[in-house]
Amino acid sequence: MSKAEKVQHIVEILEDLYPEVPVPLDNTSPYTLLVAVLLSAQCTDERVNKVTPHLYAKADNPFDMVTLSVDEIRSIIRPCGLSPTKSKAIYNLSHILIEKYGGEVPRTLEELEELPGVGHKTASVVVSQAFGVPAFPVDTHIHRLAYRWKLSTGKNVVKTEKDLKRLFPEEIWNKLHLQIIFFGREYCPARGHDAEKCPICSLYGRAELFK
């Protein structure tokens, strides 16, 4: 089986398993999505979704957020971890959004990556999920599965993103990256992975899949 055939087969399996993929982080606007993704660094989506309602009850837009102090923000988001750094980033990026963008979240990777606390993955999630711009955010699940399925060398997330963008059609990137995340959590975990029970790994056998 060629790599192109394997790629197409993987797409078909994921589409069959996850025809609809909800955004894992609860949000009501590009701004609330941006903040949620920032909070998700080294934190589970589930925990973020428990914390953000308390934060957004006080401030779900940059204008309200800057009326809070950094310490107030920090006290609310503490369960997400790294609260000193994240609270400063949320406060400072809110100021920048007001001063530079009229309170709106910019729609380009370049502009987003200039904001405090916003790296390439966070920016990619925002443009893809908030604005529908084709992007392929690579998290730990995607990076791990791309290597496990021999779609990338796995040297780093930058290389993995480039490899996946080359292999998969641009028009499915936004949905596909979520499908892979859901699949990794449900069927293809890092630890305790049973290849015989995995809907993708079991079909090829280890020798064929890992060529």
- Domains annotated on the chain, with CATH: 3-21+136-209 (1.10.1670.10), 30-131 (1.10.340.30)
Name the more confident of 140 and 157. Answer: 157
Question: How does pLDDT run across 49-78, given as a tens digit for each residue?
Answer: 999 999 999 999 999 999 999 999 999 999
CA distance 86 to 74: 8
Could you please report the per-residue DSSP string of 140-191?
HHHHHHHHHTTSS--S-HHHHHHHHHHHS-GGGHHHHHHHHHHHHHHT--SS
Check 6, 60, 86, 121 and give the catalytic one: 121
Of 23-32, 133-142, 167-176, the poorest mean pLDDT is in 133-142
What is the pLDDT at residue 204?
63
Q: How many CA atoms lie within 13 A of 121 on its CB side?
A: 19
139 is catalytic: yes
71 is catalytic: no
Place 211 in a pLDDT band, splitting at 50, 70 and 90: very low
* Contact criterion met (CB below 8 Å) for 158 and 146: no
Q: Is the pLDDT of residue 128 over 60?
A: yes
For tokens 């449900």, the residue is: 186
Check 139, 159, 165, 175 and give the catalytic one: 139
The predicted model scores a pTM of 0.91
* Contact criterion met (CB below 8 Å) for 68 and 88: no
Q: How many CA atoms lie within 13 A of 106 on its CB side?
A: 20
